[in-house]
Amino acid sequence: LGYVTRMILARKLSLEDFGLLYAVITTISFLTIFTNIGLGTAQVKFIAHFEAIKEKKKVSEILKFTFITRLTLAIIIGGLMVFFAKGLAADYFKISEVLPVYLTGIGLIVLTFFSFLSRSLQGFKKVVRMSLMEFLQKLIFLGIAFVVIIILFNFKNGTNMIILYIVSILLAIIIVTPG
């Protein structure tokens, strides 16, 4: 689905807007390395281990620690992006507006939560739900982008597509997370 989405967007967005969108998505994905710092793998291992030996308190501690640590790192990095937004916009993204840089910081926090949830599901051996969440995110982004491009021609620019990307992650989390 990612390739289909990329193909449609490449044909419908301007070169600058397409480049901006995927520069932001790539930056968000790259920065999650620093919010993860190996905690995702440890999260999966220790959740599965402590679930197997029925140590619910330890599972809860692992979840709290990884969530707080990863979210704190994402907020710090996102905050640095906001603080240096003008410089990042001009020198890295080669744009004059700072909103896409702010959205990159927000996207990092949202994707960190998405990753935390995905790794938690994997640790609890709910791999089908985890895979469904990742598939749904791509499907939602494709669907929203397609509708926006076909119906709302004025809405199709790089910044709006970044917003749609973040919304698609949030919707996937909402749909897959049990109430």
pLDDT for the residue numbered 178? 65
CB 108 within 8 A of CB 77: yes
* Residues with Cβ within 8 Å of residue 79, at least 6 apart in sequence: 105
Determine how many CB atoms are found less than 10 A away from the CB of residue 44: 20
Question: In terms of Cα–Cα distance, which of 73, 7, 75 is closest to 37?
Answer: 73
Give the Cα separation of 100 and 102 in Å (integer). 5
Could you write out the DSSP letters of every residue in 40-56? HHHHHHHHHHHHHTT-H
Give the Cα separation of 164 and 73 in Å (integer). 24
pLDDT for the residue numbered 78? 93
Higher-pLDDT residue of 161 and 27 is 27
Q: Is 119 a residue whose pLDDT tops 60? A: yes
Q: What is the pLDDT of residues 139-149, one digit of tens each?
A: 888 887 777 76
Report the chain's terminal Cα–Cα distance, integer Å: 27
Give the Cα separation of 33 and 13 in Å (integer). 29
Q: Is 20 a residue whose pLDDT tops 60? A: yes
Question: In terms of Cα–Cα distance, which of 6, 81, 86, 71 is closest to 39?
Answer: 71
Confidence of residue 153 (pLDDT cuts 50, 70, 90): low
Give the distance between the most distant pair of CA atoms in the chain. 56
pLDDT for the residue numbered 125? 93
Mean pLDDT for the stretch of residues 151-168: 75
Q: What is the pLDDT of residues 34-44, one digit of tens each?
A: 999 999 999 99
Confidence of residue 65 (pLDDT cuts 50, 70, 90): very high
Mean pLDDT for the stretch of residues 14-21: 87
